[in-house]
């Protein structure tokens, strides 16, 4: 498979994606499973571009509606990539341990325990709504290569840590740990 093939598939997907839906992405992923990650990432970029284009129109027109739920299989890494950043840079920008952002991406932290402060700051940094980011974090996450390598069946996450445990076990300074564990009013 050449890069030309990927470009052709993404170009045709973009032409077909007047409105990105989970069903549309599912059809394309089933048709081109070897490009599944690229198709999902491109779908996130399309939704993000439509959202930003709607915001730029101004007060005269209503902004483009952000989907109520993210495209199936959307990970925190894909959202960060669509926002022009990486998980590492997102963590650095927010002043939080990279391990925590990575754990959120792989869904090894209980979503219900994630503090509102993180969701607020991360959604502002990524240019998405809090509800949309919360839905991404509640998703299945990205499977780690180690889990896939060592498993005999479909790899699972195992016991998920709470937000408090993840922050407490991180290498952040005590002041940063306190900042990230306090719930916003």
pLDDT in tens, 20-51: 788 888 888 888 888 888 888 888 888 777 77
> Helices (DSSP H) in 17-139: which residue ranges?
22-31, 36-56, 76-82, 87-94, 98-105, 116-126, 130-137
pTM: 0.58
Helices 22-31 and 36-56, axial angle in degrees (round to 10): 150
Whole-number pLDDT of residue 184? 74
Distances (CA, A) of 182 to 78, 114, 119, 124, 173: 28, 11, 13, 19, 15
Whole-number pLDDT of residue 120? 92
d(C-alpha 58, C-alpha 138), whole Å: 31
d(C-alpha 48, C-alpha 83), whole Å: 8
Whole-number pLDDT of residue 65? 46
Whole-number pLDDT of residue 153? 64
pLDDT in tens, 120-141: 999 999 998 888 888 888 887 7
> Is the distance from CB of 88 to CB of 121 less than 8 angstroms?
no
Q: What does the pLDDT average to over 2-6?
A: 67
Whole-number pLDDT of residue 49? 76
pLDDT in tens, 143-185: 665 555 555 666 555 678 999 999 999 999 999 999 999 887 6
pLDDT in tens, 55-101: 554 444 444 445 555 565 678 888 888 889 999 999 999 999 999 99
Q: Which residues pair with 161 in a beta bridge?
A: 109
d(C-alpha 44, C-alpha 165), whole Å: 31
Whole-number pLDDT of residue 61? 41
d(C-alpha 8, C-alpha 38), whole Å: 12
């Amino acid at each position: 498979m050449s890069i030309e093939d990927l470009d052709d598939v993404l170009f045709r997907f973009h032409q077909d994606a007047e409105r990105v839906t989970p069903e549309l992405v599912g059809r394309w992923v089933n048709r081109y499973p070897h490009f599944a990650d690229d198709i999902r990432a491109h779908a996130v970029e399309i939704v993000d571009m439509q959202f930003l284009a709607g915001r730029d129109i101004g007060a005269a027109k209503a902004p483009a509606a952000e989907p109520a739920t993210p495209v199936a299989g959307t990970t925190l890494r894909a959202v960060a990539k669509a926002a022009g950043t990486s998980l590492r840079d997102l963590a650095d920008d927010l002043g939080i341990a990279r391990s925590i952002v990575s754990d959120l991406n792989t869904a090894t932290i209980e979503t219900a325990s994630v503090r509102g402060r993180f969701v607020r700051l991360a959604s502002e940094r990524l240019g998405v709504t809090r509800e949309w980011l919360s839905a991404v974090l509640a998703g299945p996450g990205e499977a780690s290569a180690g889990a896939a390598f060592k498993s005999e069946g479909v790899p699972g996450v195992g016991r998920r840590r709470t937000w408090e445990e993840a922050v407490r076990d991180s290498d952040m300074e005590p002041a940063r740990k306190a900042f990230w564990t306090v719930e916003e009013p």
